[in-house]
Structure 1
Amino acid sequence: MELMKWTPTIDLFNAYSRFNSLWDQFFASGPTSASRESLWNWNPAVDVYENDDAIVVKAELPGVDKDKIAVDIQGRTLTLKGERSSENEVKEENYYRKERVHGRFERSFALPADVDPESVKAQFKDGVLTIEVPKPEDRKPKQITVH
């Protein structure tokens, strides 16, 4: 058995943290501290995968207008920018709960190699942006037949 030094101040801070957590869960009138931070740092959910011909980036952008989305490629970096604006003005005192976030976002992704920006395709449908970045010819898998 290992002896451990007891530090009462650490236990005190743990109890304080647990009490705050219980307090937030009990009243649940507003967002928790973790979701409060996300209100100011909204980033859309993104899936990145590859198939035989391309690297595919799919971003969920509900409520974002097509004309407020920008996709930039510079060297080996793909950058997705946009803005979701508020539909209408509502007095804050009439809110019971506000979780939907409005504002600007920006996400950047490193590509495995330089690509030709002219060959990139982007499609926005039903709130989902799909970006297809073709793989360079030398990066595509090549099937070799054995004789």
Structure 2
Amino acid sequence: MMPATFSTMLDRFFNDTMMTRSQLTAFSPKVDTYETEKSYDIEAALPGLKQEDIKVNFDQGCLTISGERKFEKETDGRQYHRVESSYGSFTRSFQLPGAADPGKIDASFDNGVLHIHVPKNGHKPTQHQIPIHAGHNGH
């Protein structure tokens, strides 16, 4: 009996977990939310995304983060045996308690983490798109 080649062994080992582009799992970013005396804060882990790939909107008390993490690793004849990272479009929405002033919501993106700071106040919520600026260590 001939010994299996390294490539054949790899193929057999990863056979059950091989993923094609159509099988990539949907990307749903991990989010931490917390409240202080003066604000609501949201931090979303968005590794591999660029600032321009992310949108933050506020509409009638609902804050929405959306974007897309694209699979761009199919280059130079590589044959992936395992892809555990998640890819695809995502939308995460958060209904904020109380009122917030959309003009004072601040969003920053630094080292793959989106931080949204929502000050508490007594103004009536309206609609607003929040610009995202680079964090302190961003490029």
Cα pair 2:26 2:86 within 8 Å, conserved: no
Which has the larger displacement, 54-63 or 85-94?
A: 85-94
Larger radius of gyration: 1
2:86 to 101, 110, 114: 101
Correspondence 1:61-76 to 2 at 5 A: 61-76=46-61
Using structure 2 for the length normalisation, give the TM-score. 0.67
The root-mean-square deviation of aligned C-alpha atoms, in Å, is 2.5
- Aligned partner of residue 118 in structure 1, secondary structure: helix
Query: Which structure features the higher share of strand residues?
Result: 2
Q: CA deviation at 1:47?
A: 0.4
Identify, as 1 or 2, the structure richer in helix. 1
Which has the bigger relative contact order, CA under 8 A and spacing at least 6? Answer: 2
1:54/1:133 contact within 8 Å kept: yes
- Show the 5 A alignment for 1:122-141: 122-137=107-122
1:137 is displaced (CA, Å) by 4.5
From 7, 11, 36, the equivalent of 1:51 is 36
1:36-89 superposed Cα distances (whole Å, 9 cap, x missing partner) = x8x433210000101121100000000011001000000110000011122332
Report the CA distance between 1:30 and its aligned residue.
0.9
Distance in 1 separating the partners of 2:58 and 2:98: 11
